[in-house]
Each structure stands twice: as structure tokens, then as C-alpha cells.
Structure 1
Amino acid sequence: MAQTTESHRANRASLGHRIRYAARHPERVPPYLRRLVRDLRLRGQAGRDHIAYYRAVMKDDTSRNPEAAVGSATHDRWLALGQMQFDFLTANGLTPADRMLEIGCGNLRAGRLFIDHLGPGQYHGIDISPDILLAAQETVAEYGLREKLPYLTLVRDLRLAHLPDGYFTVVHAHSVFSHSPLEVIDECFAHVGRVLAPGGFFDFTYNRTDGTEHQVLREDFYYRTRTLLSLAESYGLRAHPMPAWDELPHKQSRIRVRHTE
């Protein structure tokens, strides 16, 4: 695993961190305040259901800019992050013969590259946001991917109930658990093993902390690596960090999960 840094020790929910961060990055204060106001508004509308809450967040963000809604400040960054995911995964096991499930496919930032790489009908993307899936359809058309017949499906949770047993050789979830409380991650681990083919793997990224686990505005969640490894292992899955991902220009860390053999 990459060496511990001050960033990985920071508790972003603490008042002290927020004050120091605002002093270093005053231009980011207005966006944070907009998120704070939205959080107060959505808490009352969506209640305690995190999926409903985050679906509302995505609706709000996608209405302004679908690429920003998936975490890309500019189109160039959207392209670069998609390429980074694709290059890493193809260098670490993804082949054109794979059957891939992308959890939280968004507007196909990386999915457009996966779809092009795989055979027709071999890419399945799911998301909780109908708004971002409409944007994903536009991406399919814009990049000439219609003949690849990608499946894009709206889901209400991560039970994966509509998907077949032992079918997917690769499952991928980029920047999903970074926005998920532990009960949502637990639900995914409880069911992903059922759809994962023998010999297949599940890669996911997450916000890593080496200090106190915490969340910010119910949108950004920070976990210790051991917490997620132990949770996966509690469902009979074998999990290990992928430190090579930490060396790339991305703020999240990565774990790979397989069936216990």
C-alpha cells in the first residue's frame, strides 16, 4: 500500500480541517456552501434512505452538468479519468472476451471505452440515477457504440437481484463506495459474489483514511482499508489492496475481490 500521507490521516468532517481547507482554497467555499444548503434541503425530502438521498443529489448535479455529476470538473478531466480507469483495468486483467458489470456506470466516463473494448452485449451498466442513465444513452450515441448493444439498467439498490448467477467475469465500481455508507457497501458485498463468475474479480475504489472513519455532507465517505477487507471477507470473499492504483493521479484507493478458492 502507498505510504501514509497527511491527506489520508485528515478528518475532513472536523471543523479545524474545514477552516484550514477554506483558507487554502477560498474558491471552493461557495461550492461547499451550495452542497451544505442542498444537504439540509434533501435530508427532509429523502429521509433516512441513503439511496433516495443520493439519487436526489445526482438529479441536481446532472441537471447542471452530467460530467461534473460524476466528478469531472472539465471535459478534459472526464476524458482523462475514463482513460485512466480503462488503461488500468486492461493492464490488470480485463480482456475483450470478458462479461463486465459496471456498478455506478454514470454517464459512461470509462464505460464508453469498456463497451468499445468488449464484444456486443458484454457490457452491463447499472446506476441508481435515472438522470445520469439518460446522459449515458447520449454517450452511447455520441461515441457510435449502438452496435455494441450495451445494457444500461436503473436499480433501486445494490442487491443485483435481476442479474444471473455466476455470469460476470469482471465487476467494476469506480467512485461508488466513496459515496456510500457502510450498510450500502455491506449490501453489495452480500450479493456480488452470487453474480461473479468463478475466477472472476470485482474491483472497487474508495476514499481511504488511515485515521478516524468519517463522512462529509452524506456524500463523501472515508474508510480504513481493513474495514472494507474484513467486510468482504465476512461474505466469503478474498480481498486485497491494489497499491499500483495509488500511484496514479487519483485521490482514491483500490481493492480487488475474488471468490475464496
Structure 2
Amino acid sequence: MTRSNPIHQLRYAVRHPDRIVPHVKRLARDTWFRLRTSDHIGYYRAVMKSDTARNPEAAVGSKTHERWLALGQMQFDYLVGHGLRPEHRMLEIGCGNLRAGRLFIDYLDTGGYYGIDISPDILVAAQRTLVSYGLRDKLPHLTPVLDLKLEFLPDAYFDVVHAHSVFSHSPLHVIEECFAHVGRVMRPGGWFDFTFDRTEGREHQVLREDFYYRTETLVDLAAKYGLTAKFMDDWEELPHKQSKIRITLP
């Protein structure tokens, strides 16, 4: 039974009555933003604007500063343990307020980090993170985008592409748009790591903010664009609810 199922929601409400009011508020906000925006990107940009105004760290999914630090460190350690080197050029899709980006920026050679996000508001928070952690001299690129076509980026430029907790908030057509274009900006031998909310049952979404996919759906979609996708089993051992896939060029 999925989280979007009314029976599941009713049972959950009975077990967690303290969460009913927050859920109703979220539902009301969702309806308001949905009526005022024409597509998912516009909708989620409005969500991020609202969340960032309250707390930039919570806006990227960290309820406490300690959790923000821990999740960033976990992403960094995993990529370094799986091939990231200082001389690499890295593109981070959905860089947020640099939860992990601050560590990547510090580790990579000057100018080696390029972060994009659909939310201008969270990128302002990212600028504050750069200042707080003394990273201005590393000359990172932080750019707002309207889509994931990556049209303004050069061919075969990035060794590593990274998207943490982006596709977990994306309908399938947004993911497909990324798959259709990401191979062009990847260098031979490079890779693209992304996380997603995995389900082994029916694929579904909750309030247009949380999307659940089967692994084979994303693997097959990547293959449609000539990309090889591998489920990263060892990521499952880490304290994180999402799963991870690595995409490479054949």
C-alpha cells in the first residue's frame, strides 16, 4: 500500500495524530501553489521559496544543523570513496545551499565545482554558505536554471555529475529530460550518481513533492538514451532512506 492511498493515510493519522495539522497545512499550501503555477518546475520553485524563507537547511531536507552536516558528509565520503578526485570537474544538479557542495568545493581544484538549482532563493543561501565556510577563493559556479536540458554547458566537460534528493521530487518527464541531455556534458569515463525514492510496488507520488519509482523504470529510461545504469547496493548500507543509481556512458 502506497503513501498516497487514502486507507494508508487514515491509518497513519490514527497512529500519529500530532502530524494531522502539519499535513493539512502542507496540503493547503500544495493546492495554493498548484493553482498558481503552470508546470512542476514552477510549482517546486514556489515550494523552495516558501521553505527557504523559513529555514534553508530544512528546505533541503535537514531538520537539524547536525543532520545537515551529517548528510553532506555522507554524500562527500561516498563519492570520494567511489572515485572522485581533486582534479575532477563536477556538476551538482540541485546543489541547494551546499549541504554537500561546500565539501566538494573545498576538495576539488579551484573552479572545479559547478552547482545548478531551480530555486534562486536556495542559491542565495548557498552564497551565504560559501562565505561562512571561507570558500570564495575556490571560485565555484552557482547558476539558477529553468529546466534540466543543460543547454548552456559545454560538451564532454564534467567528470562527475551528482544529484542528491532531486529525482525524489521529480515527475518522470523531468527525469527523462535530464537523461536526454546529461550524456552530452559528461566526459568519457565519467559518471552520474543520483538518488531516488524506491518502491517495489506501484509507482506513486504524494502532494506532487515526493515521487516513488521502481529501479527498473529508471534503468530502462536511462538505456533509452544510450546510458548504462547500475544500482549501487553499498549505498543501501548507509543511514539514508533513498536509493542510488550510477549512470555511465557505454
TM-score by length of 1: 0.94
Give CA-to-partner distance per residue, 1:129-168, whole Å, 9 cap, x none.
Answer: 0000000000000000001000000000000011000000
Give CA-to-partner distance per residue, 1:199-248, whole Å, 9 cap, x none.
Answer: 00000000000000000000000000000000001000000100111111
* Matched letter for residue 82 of structure 1: G
Where does 1:228-247 land on structure 2 (aligned, <5 Å)?
A: 228-247=218-237
Q: Deviation at 1:61?
A: 0.4
* Matched letter for residue 232 of structure 1: A
Where does 1:76-115 land on structure 2 (aligned, <5 Å)?
A: 76-115=66-105
Q: Deviation at 1:43?
A: 1.1
* Matched letter for residue 18 of structure 1: Q
1:152 alignment partner in structure 2: 142
2:239 alignment partner in structure 1: 249
Structure with higher RCO (Cα < 8 A, 6+ apart): 1
- 1:222 match: secondary structure: strand
Where does 1:1-261 land on structure 2 (aligned, <5 Å)?
A: 10-47=1-38, 49-260=39-250
- 1:90 match: secondary structure: helix
Give CA-to-partner distance per residue, 1:35-59, whole Å, 9 cap, x none.
Answer: 1001110111003x10000000000
Aligned mates of 1:27, 1:80 — CA distance in 2: 27
- 2:91 match: secondary structure: strand
- 1:161 match: secondary structure: coil
Q: How many residues are treated as equivalent by the alignment?
A: 250
Aligned mates of 1:26, 1:109 — CA distance in 2: 32
TM-score by length of 2: 0.98
- 1:191 match: secondary structure: helix
Aligned mates of 1:31, 1:178 — CA distance in 2: 21
Aligned mates of 1:182, 1:32 — CA distance in 2: 24
